[in-house]
Amino acid sequence: MAGTVTQLWRFPVKSMGGSPVDAVRIDPRGVHADRLWAVRDLEHDITASARKVPALLRCSARYATEPGRDAGPGNAPEVIVTLPDGTELSSADPGIDRALSELAGREVRLTALPRGDDTSLHRLSVRQSRANFSAAEVRRDFGLAEAEALPDTSVFSTKQVLTLARYATPPGTFVDLSPVHVLSTTSLASLSADGVPYDVRRFRPNVLVALDDSGREYPEAAWVGGDVEVGPVVLRVTNQTIRCVVPTRPQPGLELDRGLTRRLAQSTDRFLGVYADVTTPGVVRVGDAVRVREPAPPGAVRRAAAAAGRSAMRQVQRVLEATVLRER
């Protein structure tokens, strides 16, 4: 399967709108200078996300100057945040925390990603960990009614689930799960009821690709375990991207769309796009060629191993949920 890179996105601040770029370096940490800032919820002592603080999506962020090669954890460049009313404030402005707190309706602080060995901003308390796995919390995060089934988390590895149980974001990053998020224009069009593709900003990928005729509505679903060459960069696809309530929420130029949650559930079981790790770094440019090497069809042994892994993950989920119930 082949195609081209149509858009590249960098998000300077977690859960805020990002900036399209023409070229960017991608390495094992992900897109260079992606999510080097986040908003800290001081009331709950946790890194805020648009799931819990949807007002953040009404802001956008860009770097004051193009980040140098040394930008990274412990060295976050100055960022400019645009508030919903158009006001622009620098991360160096002493009034930015007050402005963000008024917007969020709680005390928050714009916070730079610390150096890699500092996990203080990532760790969850025992109470926070338990709450993340409660059925009520999951239903809120995914916009689910009481009678609806909970999302299938068996696609995640044990390591991923345990990381998410212990940390708000993986240590050393402000991403949700994986370094790079890839989405195709085919999926954006397939999800739409009228054929007009959804706006890519709802789904916040780093790399948007346009594929030659794939013959599939949601081609990325078949990439898990395979490789995607994006220009000189090689990505190993690890998971489909599970979708919470965030894509439905309003942001500049996009209105509230509650029906999107239902459409995702009915069309893709709430998955769209894929997460990937970086196996070969390099600089990617808009217009670069994309080549997909899907994994070989699994044999009997691999199918059995995959089934056992999914079963184990469901058991882990049930144990975590049961722990929450006992603590109530």
User: Over the stretch 255-292, which tens digit does the pLDDT of each residue have?
Assistant: 999 899 999 999 999 999 999 999 999 999 999 999 99
* The predicted structure's pLDDT at residue 324: 38
* The predicted structure's pLDDT at residue 304: 52
**Amino acid, single-letter form, for residue 277:** D
* The predicted structure's pLDDT at residue 123: 85
- Residue-averaged pLDDT of the chain: 88
**CB of 84 within 8 A of CB of 49?**
no
Please determine, for residue 297, whether its predicted confidence score (pLDDT) is greater than 90.
no
Q: How confident is the model at residue 318 (pLDDT cuts 50, 70, 90)?
A: low
**CB of 282 within 8 A of CB of 87?**
no
**Amino acid, single-letter form, for residue 114:** P
The helix/strand/coil state of 246 is helix
Distance CA 242, CA 277 (A): 16
Q: Mean per-residue pLDDT for 173-201?
A: 93
Token couple for 165: 């149980």
227 Cβ contact list (under 8 Å, min separation 6): 234, 235, 236, 237, 279, 292, 293
**CB of 47 within 8 A of CB of 168?**
yes
Q: Which residue has the higher pLDDT, 18 or 193?
A: 18
The helix/strand/coil state of 166 is helix
* The predicted structure's pLDDT at residue 319: 47
Distance CA 152, CA 162 (A): 16
44 Cβ contact list (under 8 Å, min separation 6): 128
* The predicted structure's pLDDT at residue 245: 93
Q: Mean per-residue pLDDT for 21-40?
A: 97
Degrees, nearest 5: CA angle 4-176-289: 10
Please determine, for residue 239, whether its predicted confidence score (pLDDT) is greater than 70.
yes
Distance CA 82, CA 14 (A): 14
Distance CA 141, CA 131 (A): 12
* The predicted structure's pLDDT at residue 114: 92
**CB of 154 within 8 A of CB of 314?**
yes
Task: State residue 181 phi and psi, 5-degree precision.
Answer: -120, 125
* The predicted structure's pLDDT at residue 308: 54
Q: How confident is the model at residue 309 (pLDDT cuts 50, 70, 90)?
A: low
> Looking up tokens 């009678």, which residue turns up?
147
Q: Mean per-residue pLDDT for 93-104?
A: 97
In tens, the pLDDT along 118-132 reads 888 888 887 877 777
Q: How confident is the model at residue 299 (pLDDT cuts 50, 70, 90)?
A: low
Distance CA 219, CA 290 (A): 13
**What are the residue ranges of helices labelled H in the chain?**
96-104, 126-132, 135-142, 158-166, 185-191, 259-268, 300-327
Please tell me the pTM assigned to this model.
Answer: 0.88
